[in-house]
Structure 1
């Protein structure tokens, strides 16, 4: 099958997600770009970015990870949604995306122990994890230099985390106008930290030890958000095989299929009781954080596939992970055609191809991405990429490239 034949696959067939009808299964997967303002408010740069990628789309955009609170951890110029002002800024973006007949989900984020120690200190926040373990020697050194020490979250801290997710979810739906809420439970951030074992979560209370206890925090938040926004507006992202920021992947105890199989079975149990989530987003074993994993390396490590996810969870899935990196997209074609409930998430190629859906549909060449521009705080490498056929090159010194974020509200 050639690239031009992609339009003959399930990729461009309509699908219902939650209560929303999509016309394509190409999905914008969450991609941190750090173009919010210095006080974590969505900017005019983000409005253009998401607006451009929702044109001639008709599918689902999942935003970059978005902080539920300051205590949830901070990174420079990543957006938040803990205040009315932030939610109103996001509303400008969701309105633009909806004008283009595309759906949009916000990914809710708590960094836990991998938050910036420097920003935590500057904002008078605690550096919290399930247990008092640093993610690495480098993170411990950064904390020491910032004059802050990691602490194990207390039960009161955990209760506060739950409340923050409820507040953020309400703002996201009622004020910002998002179609869906996606809980970030992947890649070594807070929920994933609780799911891990030795060296990450060594709690001896109801949130540590057994699989049931380690999954308790995530499932409690899921249940709260079902009550808050409804299951049909809720999703969660998981990365069973990732070895990033302390996540054990295939080296975990128990094995990822056992650990995440339990989480998925609990979500499927809720679905059978009338509370099926809109979708579950799953990271493929070909990707570990921002790094690709070769087939040879995966085989050597004993990494399996995510087929077990589909065996347990009977709802819609978003599968993401280097699908566009191989000529002809064989893995994409195989997975999207395997059933009638799979969306395909793409991330890096969306950064350099604002018209990605149309390029895939019409068999047009993809523009390579530039990783060096991913986390800049200017417009360069953000809104300076053009649609297919527009050969305009915007240099780093161009006035368009030098634009900086301005708050939308």
Structure 2
């Protein structure tokens, strides 16, 4: 059985041990506006990608998802990023995850995008390929090829993926381009390219997975080729200000480890900086955000390491979203103290899931609803999805507006 999709972040704040300063979230940089691409965000609390399996069996978003996304866009000026969305039917590798390929899929996502915009907020679509993170038995049932950068099995999975051909790699790049265009045509503000957590692009980055000897593998430069080609192609198609990129330098989720983390990611950053126009934002996962340790109890890796080397190299070329189990107090401290030199935002995953009015609650110092982990992946179900209440204070403020 393949590992289920996980995109949420760790429960432990990344820097608690060295926090010496108390920062009031409501008075912190969390509530300072920031331009991100073409978007004038009114605060820096971001709703990040969270796979929750509420799509139908044809990978089409269900109507209940319109309410879910619109509710979390309820504070105007919020950046909403969709759950990871497949760029082709070949990458719809698990039950009830979404695609943005067919007309019915695109139409359903358009309803969601329109609902977010109606709240005065902004919308990016996270797009991905799954590669060997697909369920092999699911792929076999659909008559689709189970594939990856190389013929290297994932731990705990019996099936060995087929090494992708050059033609298939070029087709994947085109699929990212085509999907990005569909997102913009549906009204989306942009796309976030998923190159993290052991999914397809990350499988090419990892020297533990990518054993190729052609131009798509081997050296740091070759292993980064797919990521860079996808970014360049999507930028050329829809414009840099509509493109973002997610990376997880420290995670070993799904076995996508790198033997030289700094060398791999500094090369990527250097290449991205050569682009004429900076893209909208970079999304980075802290060492505490490894989904393997979070959801499946694997031993945490790279604890104590920071993203500073990437932010230093990126040097405010565009804003950076950081994720890693932040609470309101630790997020305020991170922006005002740890990341004070840089234009940063903070992603709140499970807290935003459980609190549709999260931005309002943080701004007013209100207690947060507790999330219920067993309901995270209840396919096609309202439970643990649309049943988390707004605060009484938010409802009163809304009535008086």
Classify the TM-score, shorter chain.
0.7 to 0.9
- From 126, 130, 139, the equivalent of 2:157 is 139
CA contact (8 A) 1:18 1:233 kept: yes
Write the mapping of 1:84-103 to structure 2, written as runs, cut at 5 A: 84-103=103-122
Residues 1:387 and 2:390 aligned together: yes
- Alignment match, 2:13: none
Q: Which runs of 5+ in 2 are unaligned?
A: 1-20, 394-401
- From 213, 226, 232, the equivalent of 1:204 is 213
- Count matched residues: 368
Q: Which runs of 5+ in 1 are unaligned?
A: 144-148, 391-409
**Alpha-carbon deviations, 1:77-128, whole Å to 9, x = none?**
1111012221111111111101111101000011111101122112111001
- From 240, 259, 280, the equivalent of 1:253 is 259
Decide which moves more: 202-211 or 308-317: 308-317
**Alpha-carbon deviations, 1:244-300, whole Å to 9, x = none?**
10122xxx322x111111111111121xx2x2110010001111025349xxx87x8
Runs of 4+ in 1 over 2 A off after TM superposition: 290-293, 300-303, 326-337
TM-score by length of 1: 0.86
TM-score by length of 2: 0.87
SS of the counterpart of 1:343?
strand
- Alignment match, 1:160: 171
SS of the counterpart of 1:120?
helix
- Alignment match, 1:262: 267
Structure 1 residues 91 and 209: alpha-carbon distance in aligned structure 2, compared to 1, 3 A threshold: same
Structure 1 residues 340 and 133: alpha-carbon distance in aligned structure 2, compared to 1, 3 A threshold: closer
Structure 1 residues 374 and 335: alpha-carbon distance in aligned structure 2, compared to 1, 3 A threshold: farther
SS of the counterpart of 2:88?
coil
Coordinate RMSD, CA, aligned: 2.1
Structure 1 residues 328 and 259: alpha-carbon distance in aligned structure 2, compared to 1, 3 A threshold: closer
Residues 1:287 and 2:289 aligned together: yes
SS of the counterpart of 2:255?
coil
CA distance in 1 between partners of 2:130 and 2:313 (Å): 28
In the TM superposition, residue 173 of structure 1 has moved relative to its aligned partner by: 0.5
Structure 1 residues 335 and 207: alpha-carbon distance in aligned structure 2, compared to 1, 3 A threshold: farther
- Alignment match, 1:320: 323
In the TM superposition, residue 162 of structure 1 has moved relative to its aligned partner by: 1.1
Write the mapping of 1:173-192 to structure 2, written as runs, cut at 5 A: 173-174=184-185, 176-192=186-202
CA distance in 2 between partners of 1:269 and 1:58 (Å): 30
- Alignment match, 2:305: 304
CA distance in 2 between partners of 1:124 and 1:305 (Å): 42
CA distance in 2 between partners of 1:58 and 1:205 (Å): 45
Write the mapping of 1:8-23 to structure 2, written as runs, cut at 5 A: 8-23=27-42
- Alignment match, 2:89: 70
**Alpha-carbon deviations, 1:319-345, whole Å to 9, x = none?**
011011x86656544467613511111
SS of the counterpart of 1:222?
helix
